[in-house]
Every structure is written in structure tokens, then in C-alpha cells.
Amino acid sequence: MPAIVTSGLTKQYGRAVPVHRPGGPHTTVVRALDDLTIEVNEGEIFGFLGPNGAGKSTTIRLLLGFLHPTAGGASVLGLDSVRDSVAIRALVGYLPGGIAFWDGLTGERLLDELADLSGRPPVRRAELVDRLELSPATLRRTVRDYSRGMRQKLGVVQALQHDPELAILDEPTEGLDPLMQFAFYSILEDLRRAGRTIFFSSHILSEVERVCDRVAIVREGRLVALEDIPSLLARRKRNVEMRLDGPPPDLSGVPGVSDVRIADGWLRCRLEGDVAPFLAAIAGITIHDLTIEPARLEEAFLEFYATDLIEAGHDGSGAGAATAPPEARTT
């Protein structure tokens, strides 16, 4: 059974009533999420990528029943996100983005109260506070005195302390220092090994690439890609740079090679897919230096957002609901 299924999930804010302004009537409708269809498998770490305002948090809030869908639906652990939202929240651990707490409580008291409200014993708390280096002395201080990073650690602990079947984490490493980020990644690995499912939204591409099995990329509320990380990276173009001694090789017609530029003894090109044809084409050439830069998720992401970047460069307007997104690719 998939842990999360969304089918045509759509969320629209505002009313479709014309508002008369200079320049003609406008409607006040904002489509925060448009026809999202994804499946998250049990036991996987699923990355949900997109810049601010792409619809990531809206999706999470729909899954947890904070928002009601305008169209479509979602199920979480086989339960309907609207009808069974209380039952869903009994099985889920949630870390909101930019989490806030009752600041007058000590860290320990806060975790106790949140565990009481969850109705499940905090079986993982001791391990989590240890791995995230929240000392007993820290937990005895009031949350008001915590730094941003300490609050985030507390947020991670409260989301996972009751060992939920599914963890929904919104920007979980925000505010964590690199050491704590690594500690957090290893916690996620352990949860995956224990068969737990993790749905995690982020705009930090390197961490998604590092920990996720699959990734969905959303843009202006619409799904633009849903693939496993290796497949996504396999289709990315690598940057190739060679310093030559002698005539350059003929790379025309070599599968996967594009953007060939030769200048000052350097050959630069882009390489996609299988590297064997490229290696065969340069065999016998004298090469002083060769760099093939590995494909990064950043480039995949930027490719999906290239239109936005160009638009932003031209008119600075950024994203808008009127821009037609590229067709979604799913696997």
C-alpha cells in the first residue's frame, strides 16, 4: 500500500468573482496547487522540491487536513485526508516549516506535553535527543532561550519521538549546522531501515540528492517531474572540459554530446546519458587534462525552472499562475 496517494489534488484560494481595477477586471483566484497526482511508497524517503510558493507547504497542509481540497483528493496510509484526518495525524509525525512553540515551557516539558497530545509514548526521544545533542541541561531551559538551531532540533524530536509510521517534514534542516544536518540524515537512514516512510519538502537540493529515493519537483503548484534520483541524474547533462594537444576530435553525431566549443586548446561540451560513445570518439586523441563534472540535482532543478529564471530576468515578475508549466514527466 502506498503511504501517500494524491489524485488530481487541487487547491484554489479566493473567489472567481471579477474585481474591477484599473486596466480591466481581474479575478482574485490563486491556484496554489493544481492537479497534483503522486504516489509515495511505504518505506521510502520522498523528496518534495520546489522554490518558495511552489505549493509544497500547501500539499502538506492538504495531506494533514489543515486545508480542504478544491478538487481531487488524497489518502495517507490508506486513510482519506479529509474524512480521516484525525486518524492520519495519529500515525504521522509532522515538522512544520518555521516551527513555533509555547516559549514559556522548558524543552523537556514541551516534549512531554506534545507526546501527551499525540497519545503515543515518546519511545524514540532518548535516542533522538542524544543524536541531535540536546543535553539534559538544554532541555531544562525554557524554549524562549533557545537558538534557531536548537528550536529546529526540538522540532525534529517532537515530530519523530513517537516513532510515527510516516514523517512529514517541511524544510527539516533549516537552521541546523552542517554537523547536525549529517546527524539528521543518519536518523532518516535509520528510519528508512526501520520501514518508516519520510515525505520531506526542501529547497536544498544537495540534501534531497543525498537522502531521497525519489523526488517530485513542483512548479507554480504543478508537478513537473516525479522520478527516482538516479534516473533524474542520468538524464542530466554533464559538463566536459578537455585540454588538447593537437587537432580536436570530431564529436559531431556522437550520441549525447552537445554544445561543443573549442577555444585556446580547450574543448568544452555537454554530455548526456551513456559515456561510452563519447569515450570512443576521443580515443587516440592526445589529452593533457580531462574533467567530466558529475550531474547534480541542481542542474536538473534549474532546467525545470529555466523558464522562470528567464522570465524573472526579463520582467522581474517571477512566477505567475498564467504561465503554462511544462508537461509533467512521471515514472
Partner 1 sequence: MNPALFAHTWRANRTRVLIVALALTVWGTILPIIYDSFGSAFEDIFESGAFPPQFTEFGGGDIFSLTGSVAIGFIHPIAVGLNLVFAVGFATAAIAGERQRGTLEVLLSRPISRRVMYATLAVAGALFVGIAVLGSILGSLIGASLTGRTAELGVGQLPLLWLNGALLYWSIGAIALLASASFDRLSQALGLTLAFVIVSYFLDVLGSLWPDATGLQPYSVFHYLAPKAILSGSSDATDLIVLGTVTAVAVIATLVLFPRRDIAAPS
Q: Which residues bind partner 1 (CB under 8 A)?
A: 57, 61, 64, 66-68, 85-87, 89-90, 92, 94, 96, 98-102, 104, 113-114, 116-119, 158
Q: How far apart are CA 110 and CA 146, in angstroms?
A: 13
Looking at the DSSP assignment, which residues form a beta bridge with residue 73?
7
- Compute the least distance from the CB of residue 172 to partner 1, in Å: 14
Q: How far apart are CA 255 and CA 236, in angstroms?
A: 14
- Compute the least distance from the CB of residue 155 to partner 1, in Å: 9
Identity of the residue, 100 or 263, whose beta carbon is nearer to partner 1 in the bound complex: 100
CB neighbours of residue 27 within 10 Å = 11
Q: How far apart are CA 188 and CA 206, in angstroms?
A: 15
CA angle 280, 231, 160 (to 5 degrees): 145
**Residues in the chain, how many?**
331
Q: Do the Cβ atoms of 197 and 153 come closer than 8 Å?
A: no
Identity of the residue, 89 or 236, whose beta carbon is nearer to partner 1 in the bound complex: 89
Identity of the residue, 102 or 182, whose beta carbon is nearer to partner 1 in the bound complex: 102
Identity of the residue, 93 or 249, whose beta carbon is nearer to partner 1 in the bound complex: 93
- Compute the least distance from the CB of residue 189 to partner 1, in Å: 24
- Compute the least distance from the CB of residue 158 to partner 1, in Å: 7
Identity of the residue, 87 or 262, whose beta carbon is nearer to partner 1 in the bound complex: 87
178: Cβ contacts below 8 Å, ≥ 6 apart = none
- Compute the least distance from the CB of residue 31 to partner 1, in Å: 14
